[in-house]
Amino acid sequence: MFVTTEVSTYLAEIDGFQMKIDEGTTILDAAHQCGIHIPTMCYLEGLSPYGGCRICSVEVSTDGGKTFRVAASCSYEIHRPIIVKTDTPRIRRIRKMLAELLVASAPNVKLAQDIAARFGINQVRFKMEDNRCLLCGLCVRICDEHMGGKALGFVGRGPEKKVSAPFAIRSELCLNCGGCDSICPGKMIPCQGVKEPGELCGKCLRLEEMPFCCPMGTFGCFCENNPLDQ
């Protein structure tokens, strides 16, 4: 292994603002350093960038501004002088459509609503669904990167993709830390397992049984009466 003694810096121009950026910094971090806001969904400081939602897309040029291509700013590291534009008609068009797709798929998740509102979406042109999971992968990453758990992962592909424990059984690696639950942007939905007014099942607190149901289809609620899973 080699030891880096000195980090080289590159000149980055973000929305006309020029500054020297350490090699390996992402565009998103660099933009934050200049005080430029780039909207995000699947990004969270302290977790590795995932590049899934593409809402943080920006225009990047590595040839001195001759050609620009679209890249996700959260995962694009700066390794040469670059010019970035974060707010152009092209980018706005992309973000608006992505927000519409997101909110059409999960209209009851507050974060999706917030993003849609931010981009001025008043009407959705697609058929509404009621997904509770945005597939942002925050829970998977926090479990792996911070808890060393790897108790959660993605299963399936395409429209079938979902977050699940391996083989849909609560993993022995799960520490019951609740990190996944605390980070989930969809967790605003209340538990819907209780049927009678005033009833409290309390299973989520006692942690006696394996969680085979939850409002997000993955974790959170430990009771067996969750109507969403039936």
Partner 1 sequence: MKRLESIKDLERLRETIVAKNNTYEKTLSICGETGCRVYGSESLRQAFEREIQEKGLTDKIKLVFSGCHGFCEQGPIVTIEPDGIFYGKISEKDVASIVSETLINGKIIDSLLYEDPDTGEKIPYEKDIPFYKTQKKVVFNNHDLIDPTKFEDYMNFDGYQAICKVFSGMSPDQVITEIKESGLRGRGGGGFPTWQKWNSCRKAKGGTKYIICNCDEGDPGAFMDRSILEGNPHLVLEGMLIGAFAIGSKEGYVYVRHEYPLAWENAGLAIEQARELGLLGENILGTGFDFDIEVARGGGAFVCGESTALVASLEGGAGEPRDKQHLHTVDSGLWNKPTNLNNVETWANVPIIINNSAAWYSQIGTPLSKGTKIFSLVGKIRNTGLVEVPMGTTLREIVYDIGGGIPDGFEVKAVQTGGPSGGCIPNRLLDLPVDFDELTKVGSMMGSGGMIVMDEKTCMVDVARYFVKFLKEESCGKCLPCREGLKRMDEILTDIIEDQGTMGEIELLEELAFVMKEASLCGLGKTAPNSVLSTLEYFRDEYVAHVEQKKCPAGVCTALITYSINPEVCTGCGACLRDCPYDAIEGEKRKPHHIVTELCKKCGTCMDVCKFGAVEIT
Site residues, partner 1 (CB under 8 A): 41, 49-55, 57, 60, 70-72, 75-79, 90, 93-94, 97-98, 101-102, 104-105, 125-127, 135, 153-154, 156-161
Report in angstroms how near the CB of residue 79 gets to partner 1 at its nearest. Answer: 6
Of 158 and 198, which has the nearer Cβ to partner 1? 158
The first and second tokens of residue 176, run together, are: 């019951």
DSSP reduced 3-state for 9 = strand
Compare residues 97 and 117 and give the one whose CB is closer to partner 1. 97
DSSP for 18-82, written as a single string: EEEEETT-BHHHHHHHTT-----SS--TTS-----S-TTEEEEESSTTS--EEEETTT-B--S-E
| Residue 11: both structure tokens together | 């000149």
**Closer residue to partner 1 (CB): 33 or 75:** 75
Shortest distance (Å) from residue 197 CB to partner 1: 37
- Closer by beta carbon to partner 1, 106 or else 204: 106
Instruction: Please report, for the chain, how many H helices and E strands are present, in that order.
Output: 6, 7
Shortest spacing between CB 229 and partner 1, in angstroms:
21
Q: How far is the CB of 36 from partner 1 (least distance, A)?
A: 19
Q: Which residues of 163-180 are buried (b: 16+ CB within 10 A; e: fewer)?
A: bbbeeeebeeebeeeebb
CB of 171 to partner 1, least distance (A): 16
Which of residues 100 and 204 has its CB atom nearest to partner 1 in the complex? 100
Taking Cα atoms as reference points, which of 69, 75, 7, 78 lies closest to residue 43? 75
Residue 51 CB, nearest distance to partner 1 (Å)?
3
Give 10 or 192: the residue with its C-beta nearer to partner 1.
10
200 burial (CB, 10 Å; 0-12 / 13-18 / 19+) is exposed
In contact, 132 and 186? CB cutoff 8 Å: yes
Q: Which two tokens stand for residue 192?
A: 């819907």
